[in-house]
Amino acid sequence: MAPSIPTEPASKRNGVNDHEAVPIGPSPGLSSNPPRYISEQTLQQMLKSIGYDEAREDAYRLKGVQLIDSVRQSISLPVKTFDTAATYYHRFRIRFPSAEYNYEDVALASLFVACKVEDTIKKSKDVLCAAHNIRQPHDQRTPDDKMFDGPSKFTVGLERHILETIGFDFQAQYPQKLLIKLLRKMFPKGEKGDSPEVKKFISDAYDMSIDLYKTFAPLKQPSFPLVMAILELTVLLTGMGGDHIPQFYADRYPARKGCVLEVMLDLMDLYTQFPKSTKVGSRYDLNKLMDVKIDINKMLLGNRYHRHFAWCDKCAQDSSDALSVTPGSVISPATNSSLPGNITVKRNGKSSEGTLRFVFDHEDARFERETVAEYFDDVYEEIEEEVEERIPDEPRHSSRSAHHSHSSHRNHTDHGWSPYSRSRHGGHNSDRHKGRKSHGYY
């Protein structure tokens, strides 16, 4: 019988009492749950918010991943370090505009952080020296050279921003490990070894797993849809091994066909638009690649899938083009190396109160917010109370005197006076008024 999955928070599962798990005190601050995967719709919204220029930023993306791959081969790092570094590089780029950083600095800093995460420790000077020797083969240097002192400090400073960008979530996926297992199920190794066709199939599939990190597909899908997309696309390009694909969907590995087709189209967009910047795209004719892309689109329409899995038309934003924020001058930080200490990466403007903490267990974060809310939420209670209020007495004498004065004044003004005649004829009235000038009438 399989063990039951505990539903209580991690603090209770670890044997901590209730009064010790949630101490009464000040607010713990702001908590953030880093997402493991990002949908295509959310990804496009994030790119628009930073002013993503597709033509320019795609070139930076390809160059950055290519630099990571070249440096890791130069200093003999495993492929899992490349996978982690490329993931960190993409997560940083979709959050900050290119005007605030140099893509080479971020690529090298991502590789430096990945070396620590994957326990393939390399110093920052080793990474910077390898990158310098690749860019300038005529000027070979050693890691002990003093020219790397300043860039090394900058790389260490940029490491902090990369850690905050990934939310201190160091989990990464390595599709190459699962890919090799499935390839061996498709083509068991015989006594005489693999045939040339099988070697070509394995080589294309493995190199395609490297080209996959030049797209945003690893940010959107888990390992198995990525591997199945690589296998199916390799089958379409080479024309062999198609009989083994259906059995993989029936195994214990879950995958939806819409997710697999989305990854396949992401790879085909890369191979048709930038064939020379990839390993597999340069091996096939462009017409062949276009035919395969048309076949995948037919499969997409036949199954009535959307181009991007889990797409919501109502939530889609308008298609207004966002302006690019990457400067085009010769002193642009996106095209020139950053100087030490001149990092201008902006922080999130959520709130300046409290400490930002990264929580990985969503249940613990929800339990913590509900517990703290009891002490900081404003609760109001409406109470009805009857109060006797004294009505002030009316000033009767004042009203009488005012009424009497008004009446006397009216009688005085109206008594014994006739209406004034404005006619020019009849001088009797005029003579009478003239005779009363001494009494103050004009």
147 and 102 part of one domain: yes
Indicate the pTM of the whole model.
0.69
pLDDT attached to residue 356: 66
- Which pair of tokens denotes residue 295? 């076949």
pLDDT attached to residue 267: 94
Q: Is residue 366 part of a domain?
A: no
Q: Is residue 206 part of a domain?
A: yes
pLDDT attached to residue 249: 74
50 and 168 part of one domain: yes
251 and 262 part of one domain: yes
| DSSP E strand stretches across 105-249 | none
Q: Is residue 363 part of a domain?
A: no
138 and 210 part of one domain: no
124 and 238 part of one domain: no
* Domain end point (choices 301, 319, 337): 319
288 and 210 part of one domain: yes
CB contact set of 58 (below 8 Å; sequence gap of 6+): 273, 274
Q: Is residue 130 part of a domain?
A: yes
190: left (phi over 0), alpha (psi -120 to 50) or beta: beta
pLDDT attached to residue 346: 45
Between CA 76 and CA 63 the distance in angstroms is 20
- Residue 249: CATH number of its domain: 1.10.472
Q: Is residue 108 part of a domain?
A: yes
CB contact set of 429 (below 8 Å; sequence gap of 6+): 420, 421
Question: DSSP H helical segments within 280-416, as ranges?
Answer: 286-302, 362-376, 396-414
Q: Is residue 383 part of a domain?
A: no
Domain span including residue 196 = 173-319
* Domain end point (choices 172, 195, 221): 172
- Residue 34: CATH number of its domain: 1.10.472.10
Q: Is residue 13 part of a domain?
A: no
3-class DSSP assignment, residue 31: strand
- Contact predicate 31/167, CB 8 Å: no
Q: Phi and psi at residue 440, in whole multiples of 5°?
A: 100, 10
138 and 123 part of one domain: yes
244 and 125 part of one domain: no
Angle at 155 between CA 149 and CA 156, to 5 degrees: 90
167 and 217 part of one domain: no
155 and 203 part of one domain: no
| Domains: count for the chain | 2
- Which pair of tokens denotes residue 132? 């310098």
- Which pair of tokens denotes residue 381? 């209670």
* Domain end point (choices 271, 295, 319): 319
pLDDT attached to residue 351: 44
Between CA 35 and CA 358 the distance in angstroms is 11
167 and 209 part of one domain: no
Q: Is residue 435 part of a domain?
A: no
Question: Residue 215 carries which DSSP code?
Answer: S
Tens of each residue's pLDDT in the chain, 442 residues: 444 444 555 545 455 554 455 555 555 566 666 677 888 888 888 888 888 777 788 889 999 999 999 999 999 999 999 999 999 999 998 888 877 888 999 999 999 999 999 999 899 999 999 999 999 989 899 999 999 999 999 999 899 889 888 888 888 889 999 999 999 888 888 766 778 888 999 999 999 999 999 999 999 888 999 999 999 999 999 988 777 787 777 666 667 888 889 999 999 999 999 999 999 999 999 999 999 999 998 988 887 777 777 777 666 655 444 333 333 333 333 434 443 334 444 444 444 455 666 676 777 777 777 777 777 777 778 888 888 888 887 766 554 555 555 455 444 444 455 555 554 454 444 444 444 444 444 4
Cβ-based burial of 12 (10 A; exposed 0-12, middle 13-18, buried ≥19)? middle
- Contact predicate 27/176, CB 8 Å: no
pLDDT attached to residue 334: 40
146 and 196 part of one domain: no
